[in-house]
Structure 1
């Protein structure tokens, strides 16, 4: 995009931010006609003050608008910036399987090395170190694609399995950080690759990533349908088929279907899916992490609380949390799961009008996994709500967290 005129770059990033010309113009204090002329190159942008203002509204590094490499800012070390987004996009836009017919295949890492890298990436995600992961993903994607293209039989299914996992890691990370369309693309790629990996359960998890991306894009109905349909196909046929791995994937599809139903306001379906997930979790036993699902009794309760928040019943979400605390399984969960739950609780308390408690939950989540709170757009919305609705001056701790997040007090 470096060779494009600045007006075209402005149009590109305005589209990425899903702003109409009118909305963009209003935020700049300009007319829609002025924006249109800038984007078509009829009007020149020759004042740096205006360019910086445009960059601020579009939330991009001003260097991107100028066609230069962005400078990394120290305050984004734990989050993702447009440098990482564009590098991940570039890696996802590669079509090595086709280009291998015409050009030499890129050098691929050995299978054992790739196994370790993928395992490390999963742990990085589940410890909510999104900035670290975002900077590693472009190389991981390129390595996985090269390995998938170049590996001979009989190791090709394993190479595809690893690439399918990399796409899923990318999808989950991008969804967390608000890049929902890229998240959907990565998840969709994973489904295609998982079929070559000949692993039905991995494909089931890829489907859950697709459904989660659709839900993030506001497509709750298709998200519900895909989760329920695939859950029905993966459901164990009998005791011999009821492995912990299959039960975990089946259970996570039920939970995510429940979240989609909650977004639709379908309380009956929420309860049906959550109750079935509870039954499945009892057969799994304790909280496990098969196929990186973290599925188990405690995670079911976390999703039940999150569904209550989506239904607008913050009080029930808080009551569910009190039950979770009594079971003792919460503290054993990975940081991403626990911090995510505190974010849900903050939303629940906000629905109840208890803004001090909402702030406390954000601080708890930040203590556990700062990136889960500081880097997620939904957390920014919650802390903005806390600041706006708090009577008097917010606590010093909340004011400091808001400053770290770039949210004005």
Structure 2
């Protein structure tokens, strides 16, 4: 059951290449990839790596989402998730309007608890529930923060904006995620919270990482480290610094800078040994486990699939690891398994990711491209793979 021509990344690359009036050889000449690889991706014989898609987008001067097909509107509409996006967009636009005289907001402690609850729901991949409740919470927080100018409320509002970013990214609305990050910076400045500002720079760097702008991403990581300063030895600052190193490691991997990957992983590991597992600092998942998971991600990014699979097989995920991070690991593992010929294992990893985090897996570009690759490698499509391909809209 090969995908329809218009339904895979390679077909979109082919369409955009033709619109740019380029032959395959002309586009390949602009890429750090071979003509043969481009040809195989365009015809669907090989899945496109994220790095390859980013390189094509840069060469064609278009957004990455044009090639990935995000947001996946048809699936989002069937899941009734698309209708939840507009209220989030509208709530983000209230930031500079001051208090709303017609609004009666809940008490401060309930609003702050609400922010923590939605962060937890996103980490548990309950995207629908979080997206439904977020606009009202942002509206109330905006009103109350303007009314009282409390540091805790500005921090809570910044965290709510961060949740808007997380939901937008997971559903493929990257334009909305950029707006949410701008609002996060605005609120973090009013909270005078440099650590929250550093978290925002980390997330902003990952936006440029997806777009293939690795140098900008690396500069943003440096800015984030500078915001933390050198004289803050607190557990919170160390956890944020460690997460910045992990972000830098995957950016360096995508940029092909192996020595930088190793340096950042080593530094993150050093910090992780000092602070241990940190599940409660700015809703990060920093600690020794996440350092190990980023080693796998870096190996996948550099196409060292044998090494990635070797590492993945030795990982035992702790029970407290957030569901979103657990599913991300399974998607990375599936890619490594597929690329090393372990197609049955790859399908199982994707099924496990779907069972854990259905919405996240369905809208994850790497999961969709791995499913595409498995379909093309199968002489006869197993029923489970057929169901997975149909489920993601192929």
TM-score for the superposition, normalised by structure 2: 0.77
> Using a 3 Å threshold, how does the CA distance of structure 1 residues 199 and 330 change in structure 2: closer, same or farther?
same
Aligned twin of 1:349: 337
Q: 1:95 to 1:21 in 2, by over 3 A?
A: farther
Q: Which structure ranks higher in relative contact order (CA pairs < 8 Å, sequence separation ≥ 6)?
A: 2
**Residue 217, structure 1, aligned to residue 204, structure 2:** no
- Write the mapping of 1:71-86 to structure 2, written as runs, cut at 5 A: 75-76=78-79, 80-81=81-82, 83-86=83-86
Match of 1:88 in 2: 88
Partners of 1:266 and 1:197 lie apart in 2 by 36
1:85 Cα deviation (Å)? 2.3
Query: 233, 237, 254: which one pairs with 1:246?
Result: 237
In the alignment, which residue of structure 2 is the partner of 1:292?
A: 283
> Do the aligned residues in 2 keep the contact of 1:96 with 1:149 (CA within 8 Å)?
no
- Range 343-352 or range 283-292, more displaced: 283-292
Q: Note the C-alpha offset of 1:21.
A: 12
Provide the C-alpha distance between the structure 2 equivalents of 1:376 and 1:59, rounded to a whole number of angstroms. 10
Look up the match of 1:274: 265
CA contact (8 A) 2:214 2:252 kept: yes
- Structure 2 residue ranges without an equivalent (≥5): 1-11, 20-68
Q: 1:221 to 1:323 in 2, by over 3 A?
A: same
CA contact (8 A) 1:330 1:338 kept: no
Structure-2 residue corresponding to 1:331: 319
The reply to whether residue 135 of structure 1 matches residue 129 of structure 2 is no
Aligned length, in residue pairs? 334
Go from structure 1 to structure 2 and tell me whether the alpha carbon gap of 1:198 and 1:400 turns closer, same or farther (over 3 Å shift). same
1:88–1:137: 8 Å Cα contact kept in structure 2?
Answer: yes
Name the larger-Rg structure: 1
Kindly report structure 1 stretches of 4+ aligned residues shifted beyond 4 Å.
17-23, 56-62
1:367 maps to which of 338, 341, 355: 355
5+ residue gaps, structure 1: 1-16, 24-55, 63-71
Could you give the per-residue CA deviations for residues 178-224 of structure 1, whole angstroms, max 9, x where no partner exists? 21121122112211210111222111112212112222233222112
Decide whether the 8 Å contact of 2:70 with 2:173 is kept in 1: no
Call closer, same or farther: CA 1:389–1:130 in 2, change over 3 Å.
Answer: same
Residues 108-134 of structure 1, C-alpha deviations (whole Å, 9 max, x = no match):
332111112101101101101122222
Q: Deviations over 1:141-167 (max 9, x none)?
A: 2222222222x25xx211111110011
**C-alpha RMSD of matched pairs (Å):** 2.9
Q: 1:223 to 1:58 in 2, by over 3 A?
A: closer
TM-score by length of 1: 0.74
